[in-house]
């Protein structure tokens, strides 16, 4: 019993510590302006004319460009491993819409002491100047910065008329489990669940009641319960995520607010879901407001000139697969952790300085080729440096998939094969081939994910200590 009490106290402390860490930054400052209200009214008929059932089974790839702010010396800033981890959570939250967010180009580094040490605010001259100088067309531009007063913010589609078309994330909030998905929600026209732009929302959902106003007040969606403005510790229990007050609306009815809704101000770790009404508004906004987003850019974007990868910011964490491409050089002092996959591809030179290492169990490939190649990595030795080996034809399809996926590979000669599936945390989920010998030729294995949660999975093919990995997105 004593052990359980201690464990509970430790768990409670961790929740309090994490929430207090991000509480130093104010909540999202996004407000629904009259411009946004007018925009939504003017486009209402066009939105309602969209039949979402025609798009429900389609994959919607959302191209994302990361802009990472560092100091003048190119030091500091969030690591790509941290961003990739946050993207896994975003994709889980948006998977019901078959929306897949892809960081499809190398990060753009903005080296500025002014931006790094002093930050900037929403709609500030500093922010707008930074964005104008770095925007990439037809993608979601996301700026990652330290020292901001807020956890993050985004601009509604109506702000495009004023040249505002990006998301800003505070580094400290990127991996709190919900803020990144929250800001994408604003980008696709979602309001805070406690919004009062159309008036204070009442609790009742009885359409015959004079208090019924959910379609015009609050966030304008009737399947999100009325919200009196949640706050972690203030009126939400940080351990149970339950609402702890008994406030009433203007008609005297007690609130039962959505403490797990991503668009609320509930505890960051409690916010895990969208309602169907929110999902429908997101997809409609993607199809109507953000129709310019072009996933083909992911395949066509050229890499940057130079990468300077430093530890700990650019360490590649366990379970992460990442490729750095440079049209000139790559300099690395970072660490490739056990279970990570990395490709460093530079046209002219790769320099591995003191401090660089690839841990046992990592896979890495260093190749002088340039941008745009497709490679396979060999399982690392103690040195962590691998030779380029003949590519084995290997694919998974469909991808994304909803229940089962086919893993297909083609062998030049008979050999022992290992095919393993891992989740995004690096845990082994299934072993489809465990060293059995397969003849030369094409082979197919089926992966049944009917009992697994939606999210990103990694398929690893290992042949003669040579390893290839493929990401697989499970959606329903």
Are 278 and 206 a contacting pair, CB within 8 Å?
A: no
**What is the predicted pLDDT for the residue at 279?**
97
Say if CB 318 and CB 85 are below 8 A apart: no
Say if strands 415-423 and 455-463 run parallel, antiparallel, or are unpaired.
antiparallel
User: Of the given ranges (29-38, 246-255, 450-459), which has the lowest mean pLDDT?
Assistant: 450-459
Q: pTM surpassing 0.85?
A: no
3-state SS assignment for residue 431: strand
Could you read off the pLDDT of 179-214 as tens digits, one per residue?
999 999 999 999 999 999 999 999 999 999 999 999
pLDDT of residue 462: 87
Lowest mean pLDDT among 311-320, 410-419, 462-471: 462-471
pLDDT at 17 over 60: no
Residues 187, 188, 190, 191: what is their CA dihedral angle, to the nearest 10 degrees? 30
Q: Does residue 44 contact residue 216 with C-beta atoms inside 8 Å?
A: no
As a whole number, mean pLDDT of residues 415-443 equals 88
Distances (CA, A) of 12 to 8, 202, 244: 6, 33, 16
Q: What is the DSSP string of 357-412?
A: EE-TT-EEEEEE--TT----EEEP-TT------PPPEEEEESSSBSSEEEEEEEES
Taking only the tens place, the pLDDT of each residue in 51-100 is: 888 787 677 889 999 999 999 999 999 998 899 889 889 988 998 998 98
Residue with the larger pLDDT of the pair 241 and 47: 241
Closest by CA to 307, choosing from 257, 264, 256, 342, is 342
Residues 6+ apart with CB under 8 A from 130: 110, 112, 115, 120, 143
pLDDT class of 466 with cuts at 50, 70, 90: confident
pLDDT category at 251 given cuts 50, 70, 90 is very high
Point out the least confidently predicted range of 196-200, 264-268, 302-306, 384-388: 384-388
Confidence of residue 121 (pLDDT cuts 50, 70, 90): very high
257 has a pLDDT exceeding 70: yes
Mean pLDDT of 213-234: 96
- Across the range 111-137, mean pLDDT stands at 95
**Is the predicted pLDDT of residue 143 greater than 80, yes or no?**
yes
Name the maximum alpha-carbon separation found in the chain.
75
Quote the tokens at residue 157.
Answer: 């589609």
Q: What is the pLDDT of residues 339-397, one digit of tens each?
A: 877 778 777 788 888 888 888 888 777 776 666 544 433 333 333 344 333 456 788 88
Confidence of residue 19 (pLDDT cuts 50, 70, 90): very low
pLDDT band with cut points at 50, 70 and 90 for residue 272: very high
Q: Which has the higher per-residue pLDDT, 21 or 68?
A: 68
Distances (CA, A) of 390 to 349, 378, 469: 22, 10, 15
């Amino acid at each position: 019993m004593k052990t359980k009490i201690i464990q509970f106290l430790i768990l409670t402390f961790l929740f309090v510590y994490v929430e207090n860490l991000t509480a130093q930054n104010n909540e999202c400052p996004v407000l629904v302006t009259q411009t946004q209200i007018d925009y939504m009214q003017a486009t209402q008929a066009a939105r309602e004319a969209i039949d979402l059932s025609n798009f429900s089974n389609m994959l919607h790839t959302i191209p994302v460009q990361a802009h990472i702010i560092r100091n003048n010396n190119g030091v500091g800033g969030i690591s790509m491993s941290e961003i990739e981890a946050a993207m896994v959570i975003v994709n889980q939250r948006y998977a019901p819409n078959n929306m897949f967010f892809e960081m499809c180009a190398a990060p753009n580094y903005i080296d500025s002491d002014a931006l790094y040490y002093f930050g900037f605010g929403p709609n500030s001259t500093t922010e707008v100047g930074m964005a104008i100088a770095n925007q990439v067309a037809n993608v979601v531009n996301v700026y990652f910065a330290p020292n901001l007063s807020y956890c993050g913010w985004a601009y509604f589609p109506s702000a495009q008329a004023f040249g505002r078309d990006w998301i800003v994330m505070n580094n400290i909030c990127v991996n709190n489990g919900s803020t990144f998905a929250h800001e994408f929600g604003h980008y696709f026209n979602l309001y805070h669940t406690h919004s009062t732009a159309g008036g204070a929302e009442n609790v009742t959902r009885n359409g015959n009641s004079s208090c019924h106003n959910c379609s015009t007040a609050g966030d304008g969606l009737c399947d999100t319960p009325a919200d009196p403005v949640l706050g972690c510790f203030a009126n939400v229990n940080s351990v149970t995520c339950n609402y702890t007050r008994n406030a009433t609306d203007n008609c005297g009815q007690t609130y039962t607010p959505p403490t797990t809704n991503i668009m609320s101000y509930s505890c960051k770790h409690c916010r895990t879901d969208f309602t169907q009404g929110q999902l429908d508004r997101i997809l409609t906004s993607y199809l109507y407001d953000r129709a310019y987003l072009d996933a083909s850019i992911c395949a066509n974007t050229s890499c940057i000139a130079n990468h300077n990868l430093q530890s700990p910011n650019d360490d590649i964490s366990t379970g992460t697969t990442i490729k750095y491409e440079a049209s000139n050089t790559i300099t690395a002092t970072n660490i490739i952790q056990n279970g990570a996959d990395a490709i460093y591809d530079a046209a002219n030179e790769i320099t591995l300085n003191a401090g660089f290492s690839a841990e046992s169990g990592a896979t890495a490939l260093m190749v002088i080729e340039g941008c745009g190649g497709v490679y396979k990595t060999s399982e690392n030795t103690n040195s962590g440096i691998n030779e380029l080996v003949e590519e084995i034809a290997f694919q998974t399809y469909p991808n994304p998939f909803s229940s089962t996926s086919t893993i297909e590979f083609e062998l030049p000669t008979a050999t022992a094969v290992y095919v393993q599936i891992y989740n995004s945390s690096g845990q082994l989920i299934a072993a489809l081939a465990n060293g059995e010998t397969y003849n030369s030729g094409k082979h197919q294995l089926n992966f049944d994910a009917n009992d697994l949660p939606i999210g990103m999975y990694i398929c690893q093919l290992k042949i003669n200590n040579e390893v290839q990995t493929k990401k697989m997105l499970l959606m329903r």
